[in-house]
Structure 1
Amino acid sequence: MRTLWAPWRMEYIRSEKAGACIFCEKIDEDRDAENLILHRGVHHFIIMNAYPYNNGHLMVVPRRHTSTLAGWSSEERAEFLELADLAVAILKKTMNPDGFNIGINMGECAGAGIASHIHLHVVPRWSGDCNFMPVFADTRVIPEHIQETREKLAAALGEVLG
């Protein structure tokens, strides 16, 4: 059997888990690079998934704590999709994916890891990126360090926004 090393996971495993909402905590801090926040909009922000399905896995997250789309203003709805489109644009510019999975897991039974704060996933996909590892080894292989990916995406964001 081969061993797959992921030493960066130890920091998470050993860390104290706060009871507060991770998205609310991160947006309130002034540490965007460390918190993997790429862009702050008026109503939402774009953040990298710290435990991605694929390299470049981004999320669009409301600034306000909400578990549903109900009651959003037309401005909030518009910006949510505008930031999803911006996420796609910077991923295309940086990583040249063949396609995307874009979606919301609303509620714990629907697969939401943070069910109390809705968020939209933008996952870049490449032809042939699925292999046996997730099925047989319950393991994902992410070939690039997340901070290196963040630097590329942040540079592309600056170019896309002009």
Structure 2
Amino acid sequence: MSSFVAQDGVGVRDTLQRLWTPHRMAYIKGENKPEDDREHGCPFCRLVGLSDEDALIVARGRTVYAVLNLYPYNPGHLMVVPYRHVADYTELTADETVELAEFTQHAMTVVRAVSDAHGFNIGMNQGVIAGAGIAAHLHQHLVPRWGGDANFMPVVGQTKVLPQLLGQTRELLAGAW
């Protein structure tokens, strides 16, 4: 099915297909992003009071938990988050630092077992200027990668195709955890 594109006020048929991903607009517009990310308004602090299914929490530890990213870059994109509302990596306790590292290692093992990921991007954005969407509560991203996952869709079409609903991904990862 081809589409019409306005050119000088006239509809011109093009050969492009359209894949609509309206759920991404919420992220682009900053919906669900707290105006006040102090502890009482922090989504990471609120998540721990919900059921694992409702919060998309994959696993809970003593000082950290693993949760799926609501706006994933790739299927299985999760974050390791300390329960304590802390902004900077240097503010973690020794126990939190160790468990964050252990959860990250275990998450890699689980994601590989469930989806045969070829590699990972792992990291955290410290501060708004570094790209942290929720800068007041530290969180480490774990993004699974596969050969060819940066194909024409995200590069040219600026669209990411996710083959699975977040709830289904959470069930697979939690079951394998």
Q: Shorter-normalised TM-score: what interval?
A: 0.7 to 0.9
2:117 to 75, 89, 97: 97
Residue in structure 2 matched with residue 116 of structure 1 by the alignment: 136
Q: CA RMSD in A?
A: 2.1
Provide the TM-score with structure 1 as the length reference: 0.86
2:156 to 110, 116, 136: 136
1:86 Cα shift?
Answer: 1.2
Mind listing any 5+ residue stretches in structure 1 that lack a counterpart? 158-162
Residue in structure 2 matched with residue 160 of structure 1 by the alignment: none
1:30 Cα shift?
Answer: 3.2
- Runs of 4+, deviation exceeding 6 Å: 10-13
Deviations 1:64-106 (A, max 9, x none): 1111012322111100100101111110110111111111111
Q: 2-side partners of 1:7 and 1:111: how far apart?
A: 23
Residue in structure 1 matched with residue 43 of structure 2 by the alignment: 22
Query: Aligned AA for 1:101?
Result: N
- For the residue of structure 2 that corresponds to 1:122, the secondary structure is strand
Mind listing any 5+ residue stretches in structure 2 that lack a counterpart? 1-15, 36-40
- Indicate yes or no: 2:26 matched with 1:5: no
Instruction: Tell me which protein shows more helix as a share of its residues.
Output: 1
The 1:66/1:3 distance shift into structure 2, 3 A limit, reads same
Residue in structure 1 matched with residue 59 of structure 2 by the alignment: 39
Residue in structure 1 matched with residue 108 of structure 2 by the alignment: 88
Query: Aligned AA for 1:5?
Result: W
Q: Percent identity?
A: 45
- Indicate yes or no: 2:167 matched with 1:147: yes
Q: 2-side partners of 1:151 and 1:8: how far apart?
A: 21
Q: 1-side partners of 2:155 and 2:128: how far apart?
A: 22
1:9 Cα shift?
Answer: 5.7
Q: 2-side partners of 1:110 and 1:137: how far apart?
A: 25
Q: Number of residue pairs matched?
A: 155
Provide the TM-score with structure 2 as the length reference: 0.79
Query: Aligned AA for 1:67?
Result: A
2:90 to 56, 64, 70: 70
Instruction: Tell me which protein shows more strand as a share of its residues.
Output: 2
The 1:97/1:17 distance shift into structure 2, 3 A limit, reads closer
1:7 Cα shift?
Answer: 5.9
